[in-house]
């Protein structure tokens, strides 16, 4: 018969200490003659309701194969441990090789987080490229405006000269016409 034990450890305990506590429990179980079939750490998760003024806890799952005595020993050990907020042991008839639904969700969330990071890196690279293009266009526009200013500054100097030259040409033509008539 298989026994599934889920227990919640005080969130003030670090993850490493939670793993150490779980290892100690596993050693006790193996010394009692049972074997660990499945072991999962589900991480620090929010509680459905406050327990001992705590709103989070480290969740762990152990599936053991052994006699009912081992199940009672696990319950007694967890009951006496002050670091454990809650625990529940149930008997199961079928054993699944697949990870538990919570572990699947946790793995999926971690994968999404990794994808989001890679997407952010890609977006950042694209933003940098876009920003560099914008900067190039801004520089080109600034250079074009500077060139226009230079041309505008040059044109007023040339424009009066051209107007004066055109005026002289018109005066010369008038004089030439007057001489031709006169």
Domains of the chain, each with CATH number or no CATH: 2-96 (3.30.70.60)
**Per-residue pLDDT tens for 50-97?**
999 999 999 999 999 988 899 999 999 999 999 999 999 999 988 877
Q: What is the pLDDT of residue 20?
A: 93
Pure H helices in the chain: 15-31, 68-80, 101-181
**Per-residue pLDDT tens for 28-43?**
999 999 999 999 999 8
> What's the pTM?
0.59
Dihedral sign, Cα of residue 101, residue 102, residue 108, residue 111: negative
Q: CA–CA distance from 44 to each of 7, 8, 18, 72, 102 (Å)?
A: 12, 9, 10, 26, 12
Q: Which residue has the tokens 């690279």?
A: 125
Half-sphere exposure of 27 (CA within 13 A, CB side): 6
**Per-residue pLDDT tens for 102-115?**
777 777 888 888 88
> How many angstroms separate the CA atoms of 95 and 62, rounded?
12
**Per-residue pLDDT tens for 129-173?**
667 676 777 777 777 776 766 666 665 554 455 566 666 666 666
């Amino acid at each position: 018969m298989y026994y599934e034990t889920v227990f919640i450890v005080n969130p003030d305990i670090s993850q490493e200490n939670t793993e150490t506590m779980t290892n100690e429990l596993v050693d006790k179980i193996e010394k009692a003659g049972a074997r660990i079939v499945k072991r999962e750490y589900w991480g620090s998760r929010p509680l459905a309701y406050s327990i001992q003024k705590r709103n989070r806890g480290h969740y762990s799952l152990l599936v053991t194969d052994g006699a009912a005595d081992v199940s009672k020993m696990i319950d007694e050990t967890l009951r006496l441990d002050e670091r454990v907020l809650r625990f529940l042991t149930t008997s199961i008839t079928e054993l699944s090789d697949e990870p538990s639904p919570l572990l699947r969700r946790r793995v999926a969330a971690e994968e999404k987080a990794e994808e989001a990071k890679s997407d952010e890196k890609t977006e950042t690279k694209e933003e940098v490229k876009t920003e560099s293009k914008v900067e190039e266009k801004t520089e080109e526009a600034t250079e074009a405006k500077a060139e226009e200013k230079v041309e505008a500054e040059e044109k007023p100097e040339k424009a009066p000269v051209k107007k004066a030259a055109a005026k002289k040409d018109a005066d010369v033509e008038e004089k030439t016409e007057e001489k031709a008539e006169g």
